Structure 1
Amino acid sequence: MDAKDVCIEIENDEFYSKFLVDSVKPLIGENISVSDQVNKLAVGIEKLSKSLEKQVLDKHNDLLTQASHISDLEAMLESVRGQVQNLLKGAEKLKDRVHSPYSTLEKQTLMLERVQITCNLLRHTSKILVSWNKLSSVKDNPAKEAMILFELNELISDYNFEGITILDDVIKQVECRKTDLLNNATDLLQSSLLSGDKTKLLQCFKVFHNLQCTEEQIKVTVDSILNDLRKEISTALNVQMVSIEVKKSSSGRVAPGKANIMNAHDFKVKLWDNIEKLFKVDVYNSCTKVVMLQNVVNELHAIGNFRNISKHFWNNLFLIFSAELEKSPLTVNQSVEIDFPKLLKCFNELLSRLKCRDLEMNRSSLSRWENAFLSKSLGKLLEPVRTMWHLNQVPNMDQIDNAVRVIAEALSISLGDKQLSISLANSVAKSIKQMNMEAEQRMSLDSDVAQIIEPPTSAQQKNADLCNTLYYFSSQIKRVLMNMNSMLPQESIQIVQNSLKDISSMPVLQLFAETIKNSLFLILMTMHDEPDLTRGDDPTNKSLSCSPYMKELQQFVSRCKDIYLSMFQEKSALDDCCVNISKACVECFIQHVCNVRPLTKFGRVKLQIDCQQLETALSPLVNDITELGDHYRQLKALQLIFGKTPQEIAKSQCEGASLPYSMVMMFLFSFAGPQLIAPHTCAGWNIPKLMNWLDSHRNEWDRLEFVAGALQRYQNHVRQNQIVAYDEVYPILLQLLEDGRNSLKKFSGNCGC
């Protein structure tokens, strides 16, 4: 059997395989007896032995060759070992040759080092003694003495001079002199800050600089000032101390029924006296010390960068004050919240007295009390507004005056502090917005509140009263702003003024304006039914009056102004409303006049008189008719063309008349014969439809094209009917059409359209 097969047989055998595993467990089985196991093991061992013998016989030549190779290897290893021994002996000799010079060099280096240390000690000792001898000559110059002492201290700290008896006494005296000099300079610093002696303060810092302790001394000095100031602030805000002082000051009073009220008032007065005294004396003195300290340090540029001493002190002052205030009792905090502007005034007055540009208010540390004050201020501003609307549908003047007084007080208490003024202005704006909102909620804007037939209804009167109330409220606030204009910041004034822009009587007046304009349009529509406009007799040397529709117009305008519009007191809004109505009336009048068909010479004279009377009719609305601007100029231009021929009208139009080309052309159709039909007649429209079209098509180009359509239709009619000559007005209309188009093109080019 092959050796490989023997191995496989043993590995696969259940009994033999147990002996191939590393285990401490017993290999004796339960089903086979011990003798059988021993016999089986013997059989297996015999198989392995035979397999080994067979392999040895098969490969005995290879084994002999390997055995010979092993002997060769052992000979080579023996040779290598001998060479290693020789190498170790050589290395040992080399070590002896290197070690001796190294030891000698090491000893010499150590000796040299000691010589150098000794030389340095002698050199430093010499320098120390020379510098020490210099001290005697600079006793009266602390700055130079400090410089020498610092140099001595540096020299002494470089080496250990223990055992050098010649320096023992010097080292002790150097330390003592340095301590004495520093103490003297510190004492002089404190006294100089108290007396404000800038010269001595400069000397102190020269000493500190030369001793290299400037930063430490500045920190100690500023911290000392802050600690002292913290105690003063704590004392000023100490409610027990304040109460004791109040009791002492009111001990002689006898008022049992008012004891608590007076005590609370006296406590508040005494507290603010303490705070104001604190800022005027203690805080101011501390700040002046630090500012002087900062100025002196700034002059000594060589001592380092200490540019923010006063800023850091100022910021710490706010932090300390706010911290002490937070620790104070509730009564103190409430007093500060109520009278927070007084606290800001103390800080602002302190800044103005110090005259230091680098310092500015650190409001973040006071935000808690400022926010509480603003919250209470907003409540005070809104309270009178809510109360007046809660009690009445329309507030009376006394209630409005009370609200305005509260607003004026809120604006006045912020004088001197821009940011607080702006914050209070925003609160005032909220109060104004609340006032406007309350009034708008009570106004009625339905269509029936603009009726102009019957006397004013209760709803109309209520709307007018609400508008007048808002106007009075707005005008009183504007008067307050005017009186305080030089004291309040412009930003605050602008905030309040912007909030007043929403208060106007215009929305209600606009309802009346629309109703009045519609009625005016209906009255002007009756112009086309006037028989005098078509009369054929000569009006020369006849005394003529205005048309009946114009008389009706005059009466209507006067009635609307006296009965309805006069209810409103806001002059600016009323004037805007009246001007709006007047412009609409003039525009509608011109459109109707230019489209009256037929129109005789007598009718033109009547319309000319009506033009003059229209100014009288509108006089209740506008005192000066020239305020209507282009509309007034167009009315005057219309008044002039009634006595002119078509050729003269066209010439005046080319010379720059104010009337639009489209209206002039529509008017010239009244001079033409029956074949040259008016534009709206060509379109099959009546006068109301024409007016609606003109109102919705205000673009002059559209109107010119509308007239051009009628001219084109007339041209077609002439050609179709082979009429020999055109109407004499037709060429004039064509020329005006061309001029009107060119004028619009030129205008569009100049505008960059």
Structure 2
Amino acid sequence: MEAKDVCVEIENDAFYSKFLEDNVKTLISENLTVTDQVNKLALGIEKLGKSLEKQVLAKHNDLLTQASHISDLETTLESVQSQVQSLLRGAQKLKDRVVTPYQVLENQTLMLERVQTTCNLLRHTSKIIMLWNKLISVKENPAKEAIILFELNELINDYNFEGIVLLDEILKEVDHKRKALLSNATASLQASLLNGDKTKLLQCFKVFHNLQCTEEQIRNTVENILNDLKKEIGNALQVKMEGSHFELKKSGSAKTTPGKANMMSSLDFKIILWDNIEKLFKEEICNSCSKVIMLQNVINELHAIGNFRNIAKNFWSNLSQIFSTELEKSPLAVNQSIEIDYPKLLKCFNDLHSRLKCKDLEMNRSCLSKWENSFLSKSLGKLLEPVRSMWHLNQVPTMDQIDNAIRVITEALSISLGDKQLSISLANSVAKSIKQMNMEAEQRLSMDSDVAQIIESPTSSQQKNAELCNAMYYFSSLIKRVLINMNAMLPPESIQIVQNSLKDISSLPVLQLYAESIKNSLYIILMTMHDEPDLTRADDPTGRSLSCSPYMKELQQFVSRCKDIYLSMFREKSALTECCNNIAVVCIERFIQHVCNVRPLSKFGRVKLQMDCKHLETALSPLVSDFTELADYYRQLKALYLILEKSPQDIAKSQSEGACLPYSLVMMYLFSHAGPQLMAPHTCAGWNIQKLMQWLETHKNERERIEFVAGALQRYQNHVRDNQITTYDEVYPVLLQLLEDGRKTLKK
């Protein structure tokens, strides 16, 4: 059997395989007796022995070769071992040559270090004794003492001088003198701050700087001031509503009930609280701030001691935080009083700032935001209350109710004087109340179909609208008067906020409804101009005394009636003036358009229209007190008056010299001087006069109007050419020239 097969057989056999495992297990099989196991084990050993013999016989040459190699290896190993031993002996010798000098050098270095330490101790001792002697000689100069003591302290801290008898007393005295000097300087600092002695304060900080403890002293000084103020603030705010130590003055000889605490009235409580706060700011806080300001100024002068530029600023910020914290801890009644009279607290801060005149003392308003927001919330409620109540009770507020609202607004603006931020915040609250007032009025304005009728007497809706507008005008005018009176005291931002809120209050929207109705009626009246027979009369008007046309008389009566009955109900002069001027402008514009398009028009008719131009001013006088305010429209009316008496050639000449009327209207007018074949532009288009007015209303661009007239001229030119007419109408060349001039003007 091959050796491989023997190994496989042993590995696969359940009995033999147990002897191949590494872990310790029971090798005795439970299925075989001990004798059988021993026999089987002997058989296996025998098989292995035979297998080994076969392998030895098969590879005996290789085994012999390996055996000879082992002998050579042993010889080589013996040689290596002898070399290793020789190397170890050499290393030992080298070690002896290195270690011995190193130990010698180490001992010498240690000795040198001790010598150097001894020298330094002797040198420091000598210097300490020298500085000590110098210290004794400068007893009257604390600043120099501080320099010497600082140097001594640095020298003493460098080494341990324990055991040097010569320095024992000196070291104790140095420590004692340093503490004494620091203590004296600290006491002098407090006294200097209290007395305001800037010279001594400078000397103190020179001492602190020389002792290298400036920052610590500044911090301790400011902390002490803040701690003292914290106690004072707490005491000032701890006012209770009851206490046996208050005796309230009452009418008669009223006696308090024995065994019960006297109850303090709300008024007495507020008086005591605000007396405490005002006294706190005028005395304790003011004195403390003055100390810190002086401290800051002195340190700023001593540039050499370091950068401590924010002492006052940080102090003020911490003070604001402390005040806020103490206020938080104060009784509820105190907090409520602060919320109600918050401007008084701000005034205390601002007065203090004005008194101290230090730019670094800027109040940290965020610390007081709780009370400021509560005050603003209550102020807004107070401002809105009269507005809501006046509209709740009546459809139109009375003057007394408006006066009450104005009084509240004035009070709100006045209590913020002296503090810009609070003033702006209250101005925003005032603006909200004004907007609320305007919104309430707008909701009650009637927009029914009859609010703009101008035929019958004013309806109840019209009267109510006018009353609402007048009430709002009265309201806004009073506020504007308040702003004028307080202009020098209120910040510009606050005034601007309130003024912006007043922009939406105007009678103009309601007046515009009347204006539209009046303008529509005026359009109808002016349309009847073309039905006047006098405009086509062939009579000679020379020497005659002519009156205005019937339509002009009707227009005059209508305008006067509208002003007296409807527009006079409104009291807001600026809105009424704007509305009336707008009506007058539209009336003049439409009158000029009609006059320039009357067909046919005789010489008598032109004189009649001249009279109408004069009377138009009279008709519009109830609306317009100063016609110069109408600017170009009034000048155009005057220009129309002059054109009515000129020939076409003169009109063209004056137009080239810079007349006021637009080229398009002048050309439309000149068609009235032409014969029937040169038809007016609207006649060429097949329009009636009403259609022409509508077109002019929607086409205000001068270029479009000139081209509209140019179309009529082109049509006339085609008519002359088609009918082989030998001569043009005498007005035609004038119109062509004006057309060319008008186009050139538009190109400029």
Please indicate the TM-score interval, normalised by the length of the shorter structure.
Answer: over 0.9
- Offset of 1:624 from its aligned partner? 1.0
Other-structure match for 1:235: 235
* From 470, 473, 483, the counterpart of 1:471: 473
Counterpart residue number, 1:178 = 178
Q: Distance in 1 between matches of 2:97 and 2:599?
A: 144
Distance 2:139 2:295 in 1: 26
1:59 to 2:67 alignment = no
Deviations 1:266-290 (A, max 9, x none): 1101110110000001100111111
Corresponding residue pairs, total: 744
Following the alignment from structure 1 to structure 2, what is the Cα–Cα distance between the partners of residues 70 and 253?
137
Does residue 113 (structure 1) correspond to residue 88 (structure 2)? The answer is: no
Cα gap change, 1:540 to 1:101, in 2 (>3 Å): same
Tell me which residue corresponds to 1:188.
188
Encode CA deviations 1:682-717: one digit per residue, 9 max, x unaligned: 111111111111111111111111111111111111
Shift of 1:101: 1.6
Q: Trace 1:313-328 onto structure 2 (pairs within 5 A).
A: 313-328=315-330
Distance 1:532 1:698 in 2: 30
Contact 1:243–1:267, Cα closer than 8 Å, also in 2? no
CA distance 1:58–1:725, shift in 2 (3 Å): farther
Select the residue among 394, 397, 415 that pairs with 1:395: 397
Contact 1:315 1:362 in 2 (8 A): yes
- Is the 2:143–2:206 contact (alpha carbons within 8 Å) kept by the matching residues of 1? yes
The verdict on how the C-alpha distance between 1:133 and 1:684 changes in structure 2, with shifts beyond 3 A counting, is same
Aligned-partner SS, 2:166? helix
Match of 2:249 in 1: 250
Find the aligned partners of 2:124 and 2:589 in 1 and give their Cα distance.
Answer: 110
Within the candidate set 376, 379, 382, 1:380 is matched to 382
Would you say the 8 A contact 1:246–1:263 is kept in 2? no
Contact 1:544 1:606 in 2 (8 A): yes
Read off the aligned partner of 1:250 and give its amino acid letter.
K
Read off the aligned partner of 2:269 and give its amino acid letter. Answer: F
Q: Distance in 2 between matches of 1:181 and 1:730?
A: 116
CA shift for structure 1 position 217? 1.0
When normalised by structure 2's length, the TM-score is 0.96
Who is 1:163 aligned against? 163
**CA deviation map 1:28-58 (0-9, x unaligned):** 7777777776666666555544444443333
TM-aligned CA distance change 1:19 to 1:367, over 3 Å: same
Distance 1:474 1:65, change over 3 A: same
- Report the equivalent of 1:673: 675
Residues in 1 aligned to 2:425 and 2:299: alpha-carbon distance in whole angstroms: 39
Matching of residues 407-446 of structure 1 within 5 Å: 407-446=409-448
Matched, 1:134 2:141: no
Please list, as runs of the form range in 1=range in 2, the aligned pairs for 1:96-107 lying within 5 A after superposition.
96-107=96-107
Quote the Cα distance in structure 1 between the aligned partners of 2:427 and 2:254: 41
Once the two structures are overlaid, the 10-residue window that deviates more, 584-593 or 401-410, is 584-593
1:433 CA drift (Å):
0.3
Q: Is the 8 A contact 2:248 2:264 kept in 1?
A: no
Distance (whole Å) between structure 2 residues aligned to residue 39 and residue 734 of structure 1: 150
CA distance in 1, matches of 2:675, 2:33: 153
Alpha-carbon spacing, 1:727–1:27, altered in 2? closer, same or farther (3 Å): farther
CA contact (8 A) 1:445 1:508 kept: no
- Cα contact 2:243–2:262 (8 A) shared by 1: no
The CA distance in 1 between the partners of 2:60 and 2:687, in whole Å, is 139
**Counterparts in 2 of 1:260 and 1:694: CA distance versus 1, 3 Å:** farther
Q: 1:532 to 1:168 in 2, by over 3 A?
A: same
Measured after TM superposition, the shift of residue 479 of structure 1 is 0.3
SS in 2 for 1:449: coil
Cα separation, 2, equivalents of 1:306 and 1:507: 63
How much does 1:24 deviate?
4.6
> What amino acid does structure 1 have at the position aligned with 2:219?
K
Q: 1:353-372 counterparts in 2 under 5 A?
A: 353-372=355-374
What residue is the counterpart of 1:750 in the other structure? none
Structure 2 contact 584–623 (Cα < 8 Å) conserved: yes
| Conserved? CA contact 2:244–2:262, under 8 Å | no
Q: How does 1:193-272 map to 2 (within 5 A)?
A: 193-240=193-240, 243-244=242-243, 247-248=246-247, 250=249, 254=253, 263-272=265-274
Aligned partners of 2:552 and 2:164: how far apart in 1?
A: 129
Taking a change above 3 Å as real, the CA distance of residues 250 and 49 of structure 1, as seen in their structure-2 partners, is farther
Unaligned runs of 5+ in 1: 747-753
Aligned position for 2:82: 82
Cα drift, residue 255 of structure 1: 6.1
Deviation at residue 68 of structure 1 after TM alignment: 2.1
1:472-521 Cα deviation digits (max 9, x unpaired)? 00000000000000000000000000000010111101111111111100
User: Do the aligned residues in 2 keep the contact of 1:237 with 1:275 (CA within 8 Å)?
Assistant: yes
Question: Residue 587 of structure 1 aligns with which residue?
Answer: 589
Write the distance in 2 (CA, Å) between the matches of 1:344 and 1:741. Answer: 69
* Structure 1 residues 124 and 262: alpha-carbon distance in aligned structure 2, compared to 1, 3 A threshold: closer
Return closer, same or farther for 1:639/1:260 CA change in 2, 3 Å cut-off.
Answer: farther
Q: How far did residue 64 of structure 1 move? A: 2.4
Instruction: Determine which of 292, 297, 300 is the counterpart of 2:299.
Output: 297
Q: Distance in 2 between matches of 1:333 and 1:378?
A: 19
Deviation for aligned residue 1:79 = 1.3
What one-letter code is carried by the residue in structure 1 that aligns with 2:659?
A
Which residue identity lines up with residue 87 of structure 1 in the other structure?
L
Greater CA deviation, 358-367 or 419-428?
358-367
Residue number among 492, 497, 505 corresponding to 1:503 in the alignment:
505
What residue identity is the alignment partner of 1:733? L
C-alpha separation in 1, matches of 2:10 and 2:698: 117
- Decide whether the 8 Å contact of 1:246 with 1:270 is kept in 2: no
CA distance in 2, matches of 1:30, 1:689: 132
Instruction: Give the SS at the match of 2:450.
Output: helix
Cα 1:122–1:611 shift into 2, 3 Å: same
Offset at residue 6 of structure 1 (A): 4.8
Report Cα offsets for 1:36-89 as digits up to 9, x if no partner.
766666665555444444433333322322222222222212211111111111
Question: Equivalences for 1:265-664 in 2 at 5 Å?
Answer: 265-664=267-666
Among all aligned residue pairs of Structure 1 and Structure 2, give the percentage whose two residues are the same amino acid: 78
**In 2, distance between residues paired with 1:689 and 1:503?**
38
Matched, 1:715 2:708: no
- Structure 1 residues 79 and 683: CA distance shift in structure 2, 3 A: same
Cα shift at 1:571 = 0.4
Q: 1:657 to 1:103 in 2, by over 3 A?
A: same
**What is the CA–CA distance in structure 1 between the aligned matches of 2:51 and 2:300, rounded to whole Å?**
107
Aligned residues of 1:246 and 1:266 also touching (Cα < 8 A):
no
Q: What RMSD, in angstroms, separates the aligned Cα atoms of the two structures?
A: 2.1
Aligned equivalents of 2:115 and 2:33: distance in 1?
94
Question: CA 1:539 to 1:169, structure 2 compared with 1: closer, same or farther past 3 Å?
Answer: same
CA distance in 1, matches of 2:176, 2:250: 58
Aligned partner letter, 2:542: T
AA partner of residue 483 (structure 1):
N
Q: Does 1:122 align with 2:122?
A: yes
In structure 2, the residue matched to 1:749 is none
Give, in whole Å, the separation in 2 of the partners of 1:44 and 1:514: 133
Distance (whole Å) between structure 1 residues aligned to residue 603 and residue 40 of structure 2 = 157
CA contact (8 A) 1:143 1:206 kept: yes
